Amino acid sequence: MRCFRIALLCGVLMSGAGAAVAADYNPTIDDWVGVNTAVDDYMLGLELHDQARFDRAFWPDAVVIAEPVPGISFKMPYKQAGEFGPPPANMKKIPGLPGGGRNAAGGMNPPWHLTLNHHFEFQDATHATNYGYFISVYPDLKTKLTVVGLPGHYADLLEKRNGEWRIIQRTTVIGVK
């Protein structure tokens, strides 16, 4: 009985704090946990360079739409957005990002990716959205310089298939419009 009360309390608190629900759908605790797990799997997979965890955040047919600077966007399969390891030698710098997307010294140490908050909205029993902010910090361990990157936000579409929530589309926007 105690577990039921805690689950009920969590459901009441979560439905009233930072989330909206479609009028005709009442998400379950499993729904709340499922969308949160998908977003956490993305963040932890990225931070820990854990490809398996990163993959669990997305459906195989998921896409990422990146907007690195206002007015410029491109779409890619999610796997391409999460490729870990050294960048290609001919990687071009992106105007408007600190170091062109590189760290403070021009190297490619991975940035620290700081996610700030999440706002979930359930559209129906199998569709939800997530809106969250982030900021990247680019440390350079050799020079001890750190550059704080531009802030950005995610706008995710999540889909529930066979009882599991994952991201089907993530739009990543750097900076503001």
pLDDT one-digit tens code per residue, 114-134: 888 889 999 999 999 999 998
Q: Which two structure tokens, joined as six digits, stand for 96? A: 């408007």
> What per-residue confidence (pLDDT) applies to 111?
72
pLDDT in tens, 31-68: 999 999 999 999 888 888 888 999 999 999 999 998 88
Given a contact cutoff of 8 angstroms between Cβ atoms, the answer to whether 122 and 25 are in contact is yes
What's the mean pLDDT when you consider all of the chain? 76
* Model pTM score: 0.71
User: Rounded CA gap, 68 and 109, in Å?
Assistant: 18
Asked if residue 104 has pLDDT above 60, the reply is no
Domain definitions of the chain by residue range: 39-84+92-174
Domain spanning 39-84+92-174 has what CATH number? 3.10.450.50
Decide: 45 and 57 in contact? Cβ < 8 Å. yes
Q: What is the structure's pLDDT at 146?
A: 80
